[in-house]
Chain A
Amino acid sequence: MEITVKPIDAVIFVGTGLSISFRLLLGGLSVGLFLGLTLAILRHNGIGRRPIAHYVSLLRGTPVLLQLSLIYFAIPGILGVRLSVLSAGIITFGLNSSAYMSEIFRSGIEGLPRGQFEAAQTLGIPRFFIWKDIILPQVFTAILPALTGEVIALLKETALIATIGGADIMRKSQVLAAEQFTYFMPLCIAGFYYYFIVLFVESLSRRLERRLRRAHH
């Protein structure tokens, strides 16, 4: 058992997985935010309350690995379509994240005084703009920490893409491990990559939070 690859080459090799990991993160995040927000607003307006509650409960109540396999292996078989690994990943992580995000948005919306809606209404502001300019900016500031947590959870979940052959950071480190007959270094490198992204997301969130709060004082 000997290590033949130089550490710098190992870092570069695992780093080639960054592109897939990032695409999964950004894709999943976009789907999750958009769908999560839409569901929260629908639910707030009393539209589809029951089905949305079931959707959230189901997606939070089953393993993401199972959801990913279902979407990548089972659904295409039934519907007769082929999904790429990347799209299956984005759909799965996006849908799963939308369940969590819709709950985060919901708590933020319900945390606002009802008077904010009413005041905007009595001033003759159209519904769309009440949401866009009055409600959501306040909600967003309030839920930013929870949202950051969800982004981090999403990033870590994307590692599951390795199970269906997606060449992300995790998968690359496994490949390296198999070639080099050593797990320690490749996995540590993958871990550092994830952790660096998390640190970056956290600092971004902190800066955004400071800016939002400063803007209100």
Chain B
Amino acid sequence: MLTIENVYKSFQGNMVLKDITLAIEGGSILGLAGPSGEGKSTLLRCIQGLENIDSGKIVCGGRIGFMFQDFQLFPHMSVLQNVVYAGKFQPRERRATLLRRAEELLERLGVWNLCDRYPDRLSGGQKQRVALARTLMLEPEVLLCDEPTSGLDMAATADVAELLRSICAKRTVVAIASHDMSFLTKVADRIVLLRHGTIAADIALDQFPNLPKLAVSFFEE
């Protein structure tokens, strides 16, 4: 469960988020939609605590995992090192199973065979999976993904949708920011549309089976 109440955020007087209020249930995927520059990344970064909010309240029930748009894998570490490194700083009981969990995750994401490779020898889709594995090692209760399909081709995009859905089978809260409406309609249970720093629409997808078509035409105005 993640709740955001009356959140305001500005950069040097430029108001990016205005009075955002939003509650996200565990086990569901929220799609944050909107054209570029509307504050999707900023909202995710505020939730993660990478940005300080001007006012309002963000309450989050547990650990947060963050997937960066450009993955931000550590280039001087192999895939396996990338995934296990931060585990050194986790509680003792989780440290004991570090390698086993890493193997399990990488296996499930189909990149265990790449565990000795360095990031600059991975494709975009492979980087994405490694970054996802690295984040999931934290066993986050909230998973934030910023533009997870940027730089991916159609097939890889479909894979990402599948992956995120399977993760979300549990009680995790997943929030995905993307300007790609057709991707969001495939992956999300609910779509929140950001326009001019406010929530312009908040739609549960199962009630609007036609939304994809509507939304696409909305963006083409």
A side interface size, CB within 8 A: 21
Contact string against A for B residues 20-62, beta-carbon threshold 8 Å, 1 for contact and 0 otherwise = 0000000000000000000000000000101000000000000
A126 at the interface (CB under 8 A from B): yes
Q: Which chain A residues (91-129) contact chain B, with CB distance < 8 Å? A: 113, 115-116, 118-126, 129
Task: Give chain B residues whose Cβ lies under 8 Å from the Cβ of A129.
Answer: 88-89
A162-B121 Cα distance, complex, nearest whole Å: 52
Contact string against A for B residues 56-91, beta-carbon threshold 8 Å, 1 for contact and 0 otherwise = 000000011110101011111000000001101110
A124→B76 contact, CB < 8 A: no
> How far apart are B106's CB and chain A's nearest CB, in angstroms?
16
B65→A122 contact, CB < 8 A: yes
A121→B50 contact, CB < 8 A: yes
Task: Give chain A residues whose Cβ lies under 8 Å from the Cβ of B5.
Answer: none
A138-B118 Cα distance, complex, nearest whole Å: 13
A175-B111 Cα distance, complex, nearest whole Å: 67
Task: Give chain B residues whose Cβ lies under 8 Å from the Cβ of A5.
Answer: none
A216→B138 contact, CB < 8 A: no
Q: Quick one: given A121-B50, A217-B118, are A113 and B90 in contact (CB under 8 Å)?
A: no
A217-B117 Cα distance, complex, nearest whole Å: 7
B side interface size, CB within 8 A: 24
B85→A216 contact, CB < 8 A: no
B68→A215 contact, CB < 8 A: no
A141-B118 Cα distance, complex, nearest whole Å: 15
Interface of A is mostly: helix
> How far apart are A211's CB and chain B's nearest CB, in angstroms?
12
A122→B48 contact, CB < 8 A: yes
B118→A216 contact, CB < 8 A: yes
A217→B86 contact, CB < 8 A: no
Contact string against A for B residues 125-143, beta-carbon threshold 8 Å, 1 for contact and 0 otherwise = 0000000001100100000
Q: Quick one: given A122-B50, A124-B138, are A134 and B74 in contact (CB under 8 Å)?
A: yes
Q: Quick one: given A129-B89, A217-B121, are A122 and B64 in contact (CB under 8 Å)?
A: yes
A217-B75 Cα distance, complex, nearest whole Å: 9
B75→A138 contact, CB < 8 A: yes
Partner of B72, one of A115, A124, A126, A141: A115
Partner of B138, one of A120, A123, A133, A137: A123
The closest CB in chain A to the CB of B48 belongs to A122
Task: Give chain A residues whose Cβ lies under 8 Å from the Cβ of B70.
Answer: 113, 115
Task: Give chain B residues whose Cβ lies under 8 Å from the Cβ of A118.
Answer: 50, 66, 68, 72
Task: Give chain B residues whose Cβ lies under 8 Å from the Cβ of A134.
Answer: 74
The closest CB in chain B to the CB of A118 belongs to B50
Task: Give chain A residues whose Cβ lies under 8 Å from the Cβ of B72.
Answer: 113, 115-116, 118-119
B89→A116 contact, CB < 8 A: no
Chain B interface residues toward A at CB < 8 A: 48, 50, 63-66, 68, 70, 72-76, 85-86, 88-90, 118, 120-121, 134-135, 138
Name 13 interchain pairs, CB-CB below 8 A, sorted by A: A118-B66, A120-B74, A120-B86, A121-B50, A123-B85, A123-B135, A124-B89, A125-B85, A129-B88, A133-B85, A216-B120, A217-B120, A217-B121
Chain A interface residues toward B at CB < 8 A: 113, 115-116, 118-126, 129, 133-134, 137-138, 141, 215-217
Give the 7 A-B residue pairs with the shortest CB-CB distance, closest first.
A119-B72, A123-B86, A115-B72, A122-B66, A137-B76, A216-B118, A125-B86
